[in-house]
Every structure is written in structure tokens, then in C-alpha cells.
Chains A and B, each alone.
Chain A
Amino acid sequence: MPMAEAELLHNSLVVAALLFGIGVVGVLARRNMIVVGLACEVMLQGVSISLVAWGRFHQDAGGQVFVLGIIAVMASQLAIAVAIGRALARSAGTLDLTRWQQLREESGPLRFGWRWLPSGAIHYYALLMVLGVLILLGTQFW
């Protein structure tokens, strides 16, 4: 069956970008440790598809080797994360990530700085990312 390589690469990259974006939303928004881990996996699936597509386009197995490394590292990470998370869930009784924040500064739970802007660093990061990408989009469109 013939296949147009450039079009296949294009479509695969678009699907990979969508998968990565969906995973980013899950990591930023969800509070359950299991779901955040799954969202990380979704992001890595997007990266894997893009690597394999580029490897096929370049007629090279390097992309597949990268993905094999990703699979091994993620499986290793998840094996440990599942064990630690299960132990924490058993002792603390919850999988809420907002409950495990011993490393952050002593500011109390979810205190709000301004009226509309929460104090978590991840929100500042997300806001900066949105603003930066909006500026880039604006320069591309107009």
C-alpha cells in the first residue's frame, strides 16, 4: 500500500501535538496523583509518535531507539511511583496532590494573593506561558 511520507509525517505530528496538549491540560488541572501520572503518559505518547514519525521520514531507527528509552524510563518511574503513591495513600488516606506539599514555603493551603490570581507557582508559570504564546501567535497571524 503506497503512503505519502510527507503527509504521513504531517498528520502524525499534528496528532502528537494534540496528544501532548491534552496531557499538559491534565497535568496542570487534575489533582489526583493517578490521573496526573496518566496525563504524563499521554504527553509521552505524543512525543513517542512524533519521534517514530520523524524516524520513518528520515529512514532511520534512531527515533525508535529514543522511544524504547522513553518506555524503559517511564516504566521504571511508574513502578516506583506506584509503590510510593500506594504507600502514601495508605498512610494519609488520600491521593490529592495538594496534600503533599511539604517542600513548598509555609504559606498555608491554597492562599490567594490577589483576588483573581492564586499564589501557586504553577499558575504563574501557566499564565506566563499563555501570554508568551499569545504574543507569538499574534506575530504569526498579523
Chain B
Amino acid sequence: MTTQQVLLAAATLSLGLSGWLLLPRGQQPGRTIGIALGVVCLGLFGAQLPLLATWISDALFGTLALVTLVAATVTITARDPRQSALAFVFVLLGTWGLFLLLGAYLLALAALVIYAGLIGGLYWYWARHAHASEPAEYDLVSWEPALAAASGAVLVGMLTMLIMTATGDPETLVSWGTDQVSPTETPLAQPRQESGLLLQHSITLAVAGLLLLTALAGGAAAHASRRMTSVAPLTSTAETESDADGGS
């Protein structure tokens, strides 16, 4: 095993342990250790990333990636769904910055307007109204946290290993479907991709916008409907039915 593989294995292991410890597990301790392992995991993954051209681009990318990943972790591990919704807004902001760094100005604008405005606002509104008091029992206990964390960690390890194996060899990159690999140095965020975007893909954009408009109208109609006052029995057991009756 090479040093890179050992580092990757350690990063994957710390990611799995960190995820298991950070997920809600009732009253069981270990959240602080999970945070420490998460920092170690980020450090191990970051140590394997190659440097970009300048220190400014390195700092920009590192900061945006760190904000995005930490906010994503908080999104899935927070006990309060309102905190998850707020953390998700930071995921959107970090992604927006990464889009800008990658030169996708139009996409960054669309993501900022649609995601941060519509989805973030809707989620926060919904979470605020659905949980006016303290977190519920199902927010405090996860569904098989060890198995879920192990699955996610192994998946990330596999993907990262594949990426590091493939992108470490320029010939492999070429064989991944391009015969126009760009030169090693190009201006950052050169506005070359958006020039013909609207014209070349106008039908796609129109269909996407129409779909969005239709869904918004449908969602508003479903939300406004007052006839949905009861649901069928949730499960077949008396325990579940009593819970449902008590909750309603």
C-alpha cells in the first residue's frame, strides 16, 4: 500500500467513526470525539488534494469547500430541523461560491435565486411551523447510525480512490471522453461558457422553467387545499395508531 492509500483509508475510517458519533443517538455521548474525528478526516482529505496555481485560489477553494462540507455535516446531524435548514443555506452559499470559482456565473445566479430564495425559505418556514417546541423523539434517535455512517464512509472512500487514481494520470483523464483537454494554465473564471448557453439550450431552459412553474402552482394548490383533514391508519399496530391519534 502506498502512503496515499494509507491516508485515504485513515480518512475513510475517521469519516465513518465521525459520522456515527455525530448522528443523533439518543443520550449516548461521543459528540465531541465525533467533531474531533471530523476535523481529522477533513485534514486527511485536504492533505491529499493537489495545490492549485496560486495561494489565493487555494485559499478560496479551501474556504468554500470547508464551509460547504461543515454545513452539510451540520445539516444531517443537527437535532433541530430548524438548525438543519439554516445550515443548508450555508451549503447553498458554499456551493454558490464554488460555482463562481468554477466560472459558472449564470448557474451561480440561478442557484442563488432559486435555491437560497425558494427552497431555503420554504424549508425554514416549514420547519419553523412544524416544530414550534423542542425536537421530537425521532429527531433525537437516528435510524441505524452505525450502518448508515459505514455505508457513507465506504462510498466516499471508493469514490475518492477512483478520483485520485484517474485524475492523477493525465492520460486517463484524456481517455475519459475528451480530445480537447485544456492547457494546464487558463484564466480563472473566464466567461466563455455562458456566451451561448441561453441560445444553444433555450428549449431545455424553457422546459425546466415550465416544469418549475407548474410544480409551484401544484404545490400552492395542495397547500391551500383544506379537504385533507385526515389520513388512513398509518400502520396496522395498535401502538402506532394510538400514537397517531395522540399526535393529532
Interface residues of A (CB under 8 A from B): 1-15, 17-26, 28-32, 34-35, 37-39, 41-42, 45, 48-49, 52-53, 55-61, 64-65, 67-69, 71-80, 82-96, 98-102, 106, 108-109, 118, 122-123, 126-127, 129-130, 133-134, 136-137, 140-142
Contact = CB atoms under 8 A, between A and B. Distances in A.
Nearest to B1: A141
Interface of A is mostly: helix
Interface string B96-107: 001100111011
A108 to B, nearest CB: 5
Given A15-B65, A68-B205, A32 B81 contact: yes
A31 B186 contact: no
A115 to B, nearest CB: 15
A91 B229 contact: yes
Contact of B81 (A18, A35, A41): A35
B36 interface: no
10 contacts: A1-B188, A3-B57, A12-B98, A14-B48, A21-B15, A34-B126, A42-B88, A67-B111, A83-B221, A94-B138
Interface in B111-133: 111, 114-115, 118-119, 122-123, 126-127, 129-131
Contacts of B232: 102
B32 interface: no
A81 to B, nearest CB: 8
Interface residues of B, number: 134
B110 A17 contact: no
A28 B230 CA distance: 28
Contact of A94 (B53, B136, B144): B136
Contacts of B208: 68-69, 71-73
B50 A137 contact: no
B101 to A, nearest CB: 8
B89 to A, nearest CB: 10
Given A34-B126, A67-B104, A137-B157, 17 more contacts: A1-B189, A4-B50, A6-B173, A9-B167, A13-B167, A19-B72, A22-B152, A25-B76, A31-B143, A41-B88, A61-B200, A87-B222, A87-B228, A93-B248, A94-B136, A109-B239, A126-B148
B54 A34 contact: no
B185 interface: yes
B102 A12 contact: yes
A69 B98 contact: no
A36 B52 CA distance: 35
Given A3-B187, A137-B161, A38 B76 contact: yes
Given A3-B57, A17-B160, A22-B152, A83 B223 contact: yes
A76 B84 contact: no
